[in-house]
Amino acid sequence: MFARFRDDSFYLPGSVVTPDNDLSLPQAPARHLTLDDGRRLSWCETGHRHGYPLIYFHSQAGSRLEAELLHDAAFAAGFRVIAVDRPGIGCSDFKKLRGHSDFAHDIAALLRHLGINRAGTMGWDGGAAFALAFGHCYPGQTAFVTLLAPVAGRPVARRRTGVRMLTALVSAFVYARHRVRGSRVEQCLARLREGLCYADRKQFDNPWIYRLLVRDANEAVRQGGRGVAQDSVLSLADWDFEPAAITAPVDVWRGRADTLSAFCHVRVLQEALPNVTLHSIPGQGHFFFAGSEAGAASGPAADIFRYARSALRA
């Protein structure tokens, strides 16, 4: 499925990191860049080798491997998807993040390394706030922002004192929970499936998608739970950027039956962003973009990239 990109993926800058995962499911090779502070930043690429660059920000419990869910649609639409592990996740070294904007500077360094002047951004679930933060910090390098089933937090002005206190109390629990999560990924996914809508359960029942989700969850905690825990805490934290200052067009996609991303997150985005469009998909859930029965040329994932392409022409 991914051979069209990976057969000649060696053309990319950076040395290859070979994860010791189950090789029965093909995957894009991880690559790494040594940043100025000595940390290793890891990423992989799917989609079209010569396509328009798109930075993918993974979910708060996932890793760069999630981007493989988008490969066929990205390839068909002519997008080069660059999926980056956040600090402490996958193969990226840990760093304490003070806010979402801290990671934007790592992405800017990667774009310089790859010789890319301008790119689109895409964030799924908890990755949405990181995609927005990059758009705020580097407006000249952001062509558009696409958010999938966002769990996006809220601006500081919207946050109540009680919620700040709740965030502090929850933080300790989250860190403890993710320390042991790696040893029982499939058990956690089985429990997650029970609360999903019908469309998402069908996605889980797809063997290829399920194997990828298991691999992705294991990859997220390959260094332990610290990185995923930090991500989870940041999903409750105030934004450290001003959303009203984001000039790039923002498209928000959400399945109406989504049980993991509440509509209140979309409402916050609609009220905070100056140039936002909501796309609501009937009967679909959190994993609405993961594959298409009709193939890469149609379905939600194809629609996502079609709108992204139109943003480039605007």
pLDDT above 50 (res 286): yes
Query: What is the pLDDT, as a whole number, of residue 314?
Result: 76
Spatial distance between the Cα atoms of 32 and 179, rounded to a whole number of angstroms: 25
Q: What is the pLDDT of residue 284?
A: 96
Residue-number span of the structural domain to which 85 is assigned: 3-313
Report how far residue 117's alpha carbon sits from residue 115's, in angstroms, rounded to the nearest whole number: 6
- Report strand pairing: 79-84 vs 119-124: unpaired
What would the two tokens of residue 314 be?
């605007």
Q: Express each pLDDT in 87-137 by its tens digit.
A: 999 999 999 999 999 999 999 999 999 999 999 999 999 999 999 999 999
CATH number at residue 173: 3.40.50.1820
Strand blocks (E) in the chain: 15-17, 30-34, 40-47, 52-57, 79-84, 119-124, 142-148, 250-255, 276-281
Who's near 213: CB < 8 A, 6+ residues apart? 189, 204
Q: What is the pLDDT of residue 154?
A: 65
pLDDT above 90 for 302? yes
Span 11-58, pLDDT tens digits: 333 333 333 333 333 467 899 999 999 999 999 999 999 999 999 999
Distance, in Å, from the CA atom of 73 to the CA atom of 67, rounded to the nearest integer, reads 11
Closest by CA to 285, choosing from 178, 165, 201, 215, is: 201
pTM, full prediction: 0.86
The predicted pLDDT at position 175 comes to 53
Number of structural domains found in the chain: 1
pLDDT at 187: 86
- Say yes or no to pLDDT of 3 above 60: no
What is the reported pLDDT for 186? 85
